[in-house]
Amino acid sequence: MSRTFRIAVVGGDGIGPEVTEAAIRAVDAAASRSNARFEWNHFPWGTDWYFEHGRMAPADYLDQLAPFDAILLGAVGHPKVQDHITLNGLLLPIRRRFDQCVCLRPAYLYPGVNSPLSGKAPGSIDMLIFRENVEGEYANVGGRVYQAKIDEVAVQTSVFTRRGCERIIRAAFEATKQPRRSKAAGPRKVTSVTKSNAQGYGMVLWDEVFADVAKDYPHIETDSLLVDRAVMEFVRRPETFDVVVASNLFGDILTDLSAIVVGSMGLAASGNIDPTRKSLSMFEPVHGSAPDITGQGIANPLAAVLSAAMMLEHLEVPEAAAALHSAVATLLASDGPRTPDLGGTGTTTQVADAIVHLIAK
């Protein structure tokens, strides 16, 4: 029996629409070999919408998104508008409204891709980073008074709840039940990253919850690092990490670092997931709108393709997800086209064509 999934597509800003189109082509190619069909519903929201309407999306945009099976998002951000307006006007409310509390961001060193770190073998870096996605430092609690006066005050509050910490930390431990992508042997490990020596309330709560949850997984090795140590170790010994769990802000920063360590932001995929499945989840490349290369046709579409593969896994179309993963791995291991971020001269379209060709083979 054929299944049809209705996907909301928000290409957004900059290179977002270019890479999203490539991801859609890849999914359609894989779908034609499975019993799944995809109906793509495009929403023209983002900064162009803002220039025309004074807001990033219509007032009821979250209600419009609610009935879909998933959201495929490109990028948000424009050099002419402050980033807090674009982000808070479109992306962050989606994560909160649909309780997408898990942001899952894998970082894997593919065969055929060079790490900027010397001597790293293919597959030797294989991390799964769990970023808390709806509270913490991005809770959007605070305010400003006496604006533009000498006495101006801005307060930005982080929010850490026991429930919020517990569910992201548990999701990280649960992930150790899945096989690793690399063939690396040895015990599974979960590393928690905080700054609880200086953030003595919220992050101490996080540490306590981490220790409590760890008791339910006695065979899993654990480690707790301060974020300053974690960034050092991401560069010095990235292969020692397996599953990593961190707050919203730290997870955001760490996953840009992990993306570069495995070769390029252009390969970094992410899923914003409601693990209860009560609401829809959203899939997006980690990279932003990249205004410096927008419209040049050279954006790497593979992060968007891999994000779409995560969407297919979430929608339980594993054969199509596997086809996308396999096409990306095969392309990267070959002398096929690659975009400039990976040292090539290929275009977005050439890479997308090669992916579609590999899937159809």
CB of 265 to ligand GGG, least distance (A): 10
Q: Say whether residue 77 binds ligand GGG (CB under 6 A).
A: yes
CB of 289 to ligand GGG, least distance (A): 6
- Tell me, residue by residue from 246 to 285, as one string, x for binding to ligand GGG by CB under 6 A and - for no binding: ------x-------------------------------xx
Give the residue, chosen from 26, 75, 321, 332, that forms a contact with ligand GGG under the rule CB under 6 A: 75
Interface positions, 85-104, toward ligand GGG (CB under 6 A): 87
Q: Say whether residue 76 binds ligand GGG (CB under 6 A).
A: yes
Q: Say whether residue 242 binds ligand GGG (CB under 6 A).
A: no
Point out the residue whose Cβ comes nearest to ligand GGG.
75
Q: Say whether residue 136 binds ligand GGG (CB under 6 A).
A: no
Encode the chain in three state secondary structure.
Answer: CCEEEEEEEEEECCCHHHHHHHHHHHHHHHHCCCCEEEEEEECCCCHHHHHHHCCCCCCCHHHHHCCCCEEEEEECCECCECHHHHHHHHHHHHHHHCCCCEEEEEEECCCCCCCCCCCCCCCCCEEEEEEECCCEEEEEEEEEECCCCCCCEEEEEEECCHHHHHHHHHHHHHHCCCCCCCCCCCCCEEEEEECCCCCCCHHHHHHHHHHHHHCCCCCCEEEEEEHHHHHHHHHHCHHHCCEEEECHHHHHHHHHHHHHHCCCHHHCEEEEECCCCCCCEEEEECCCCCCCCCCCCCCCCHHHHHHHHHHHHHCCCHHHHHHHHHHHHHHHHCCCCCCHHHCCCCCHHHHHHHHHHHHHC
Size of the site for ligand GGG (CB under 6 A): 10
Which stretch, 72-80, 170-178, 226-234, 327-335, contacts ligand GGG (CB under 6 A)?
72-80
Q: Say whether residue 18 binds ligand GGG (CB under 6 A).
A: no
CB of 45 to ligand GGG, least distance (A): 13
Of residues 77 and 301, the one with the C-beta less far from ligand GGG: 77
CB of 250 to ligand GGG, least distance (A): 12
Interface positions, 280-309, toward ligand GGG (CB under 6 A): 284-285, 287-289
Of residues 244 and 358, the one with the C-beta less far from ligand GGG: 244
Of residues 137 and 242, the one with the C-beta less far from ligand GGG: 137
Residues lying near ligand GGG in the complex (CB under 6 A): 75-77, 87, 252, 284-285, 287-289
